[in-house]
Amino acid sequence: MCPSSTSIAFIGTGVMGRSMAGHLLRAGHALHVYNRTKEKAADLLAAGAQWHDSAGRAAAAADVVITVVGYPADVEATYLSDHGVVAQARPGSVLIDMTTSSPSLARRIAAAASARGSAALDAPVSGGDIGAKEARLVIMVGGDEAAFARVQPLFALMGKNIIRHGAAGAGQHCKLANQVAIASGMMAWVEALTYARAAGLDPARVLESIGGGAASSWAMVNLGPRALRGDFAPGFYVKHFLKDMRLALESAAELKLDLPGLAAAKKLYDRVAAQGWEDLGTQALYRLYTES
């Protein structure tokens, strides 16, 4: 996929989206952007991206459309409204939703896109703000295999671990499995450091010890130090993690699964949100244990 001849519409230039879009722009692709708050696209516009007043208009100008928005309702409106991405996209284009969303919605979007001569992929990501900045996101893909092969060079500009898991919706199922693992993992390191603190140990030194052993995890190593510094700025918002856990619990119910670890984490993060901290990063769970 040649940068000089492949234009990209990027819709959603928030904490992660702006870094992801920046990698594509620096690779030489013509970039068309839309975001509900134009100011969040300012750096991209200054670097040469072109602004559009709606997601549909951005899509109409591009060969590939990438979206990173907030909630399934936002995804549905962006793609399936009368003047949205599916209605406005060029025939033959590839539409890539990188939001964590509903597997069933991903299948609906893929069917609607196919009916209009486009292909749609669901390709949610993991890695947070750091992974987005460093172009080493994990990208989990569902959808048409030929479309996946076509846009693989674009994925490679944003991530390192890129796997197609099957038909439309499979990427979303993989991402929900990822969030199930993270949910219990967040409780694990927060409770470990809370225990260490109560026992009179220095949590930072404990983190040095257990962060290099069998108990270690990405969240412990990357978010633990932030929490201990009192840095609760979002790499990934509490409100978005709550959305992901709700989606995972709904999907688990459809699959007739009981996931008690996920359910416990959801209840704790409901308490975090009730404190007014839903716009903080997920490491704010540590604050719940130490301040409440």
35-46 pLDDT, tens digit per residue, is 999 999 999 999
Out of 38, 40, 133, 175, which one is annotated catalytic? 175
Give me the helix-helix angle, 170-198 and 203-210, nearest 10°.
130
Task: Return d(Cα 220, Cα 214) in angstroms, integer.
Answer: 12
Task: Output phi, psi for 200, to 5 deg.
Answer: 85, 10
Whole-number Cα distances in Å, 118 to 59, 92, 121, 122, 181: 12, 5, 10, 14, 34
* Confidence label for 285 from pLDDT (cuts 50, 70 and 90): very high
Q: Over 70: is that where the pLDDT of 124 sits?
A: yes
Question: In the prediction, which pLDDT does 128 show?
Answer: 85
Question: In the prediction, which pLDDT does 261 show?
Answer: 97
Pairing of strands 119-122, 137-143: antiparallel
60-81 pLDDT, tens digit per residue, is 999 999 999 989 999 999 999 9
Q: Over 90: is that where the pLDDT of 268 sits?
A: yes
- Mean pLDDT value of segment 82-103: 97
Classify domain 8-168 at the CATH superfamily level: NAD(P)-binding Rossmann-like Domain (3.40.50.720)
Told to judge if 175 belongs to the known catalytic residues of this protein, a careful annotator would answer: yes
166-189 pLDDT, tens digit per residue, is 999 999 999 999 999 999 999 999
Classify domain 174-291 at the CATH superfamily level: N-(1-d-carboxylethyl)-l-norvaline Dehydrogenase; domain 2 (1.10.1040.10)
List the domain boundaries for the chain.
8-168, 174-291
182-219 pLDDT, tens digit per residue, is 999 999 999 999 999 999 999 999 999 999 999 999 99
Q: Over 70: is that where the pLDDT of 1 sits?
A: no
How many other β-carbons are positioned within 10 Å of the β-carbon of residue 220? 21
